[in-house]
Chain A
Amino acid sequence: GAVVSQHPSRVICKSGTSVKIECRSLDFQATTMFWYRQFPKQSLMLMATSNEGSKATYEQGVEKDKFLINHASLTLSTLTVTSAHPEDSSFYICSAGGQLGPNSPLHFGNGTRLTVT
């Protein structure tokens, strides 16, 4: 069964609105979660590392004020796309894991398809 749950799976919003995506680890605690973005027919690009109880670490070129990350508990991280624009339309995926050490596998959520109209 799924070990990482992501919600919603699909969302359509109007330009200028904000959208929140949730990522939950099931049956385990995740001090670290990762958020990726995937454009059609392309690979996953890491956006940020979500750290429980502290600020997220953003990759170069990712606007932290636009993509707000909150990791308030050991089982939940949220990504909020603020003032969304059509170019933010993409497939957003979270991952969690590594609880057994650096080389233990990461588990991915099923992704969220965001469409901004």
Chain B
Amino acid sequence: TQLLEQSPQFLSIQEGENLTVYCNSSSVFSSLQWYRQEPGEGPVLLVTVVTGGEVKKLKRLTFQFGDARKDSSLHITAAQPGDTGLYLCAGAQGGSEKLVFGKGTKLTVNP
């Protein structure tokens, strides 16, 4: 059983389109993090959300943490080819530093 369900698994869109990636769970997380990973490299942290209902923006990326801290979404506005990559959500429970990762969303933005 996957603790964090991430969808969609694959997404191919045209430059300029908007998209949303979802990360859902039946469990509560003390924090949730979004990472972006390029092939052959480690994940790079994009954002950490810790408060239910929290919304954070990073340029064209908007991250939201659900009110119950069980789910999160990543919305990208006007996607660009440079946004192409694997997006991973990861959650921490209680006071633990251990992260549970979703399966990832492979995003391809075509010029």
Contacts and interface: CB of A to CB of B under 8 A. Distances in A.
Interface of A: 4, 6, 32, 34, 41-46, 49, 91, 93, 95, 97-98, 102-111, 113
A106 B104 contact: no
B42 A93 contact: yes
A102 B96 contact: yes
A108 B37 CA distance: 10
Nearest to B43: A108
Contacts of A44: 43, 88, 90, 101
B99 A46 contact: yes
B2 to A, nearest CB: 9
Contacts of B35: 108
A23 B67 CA distance: 36
Given A43-B88, A44-B88, A113-B40, A105 B101 contact: no
Contact of A102 (B41, B43, B97, B101): B97
Contacts of A106: 33, 45, 97, 99
B41 A43 contact: no
A98 B41 contact: no
B42 A34 contact: no
Interface of B: 30-31, 33, 35, 40-45, 48, 50, 88, 90, 92, 94-104, 106
Nearest to B94: A102
A45 B97 CA distance: 15
A44 B102 CA distance: 8
A109 B48 contact: no
A111 B37 CA distance: 11
B6 to A, nearest CB: 8
24 contacts: A4-B42, A34-B97, A34-B98, A34-B99, A42-B103, A42-B104, A43-B88, A45-B101, A93-B43, A95-B42, A102-B30, A102-B31, A103-B30, A103-B31, A103-B48, A103-B50, A105-B48, A106-B33, A106-B97, A106-B99, A108-B35, A109-B42, A110-B41, A111-B42
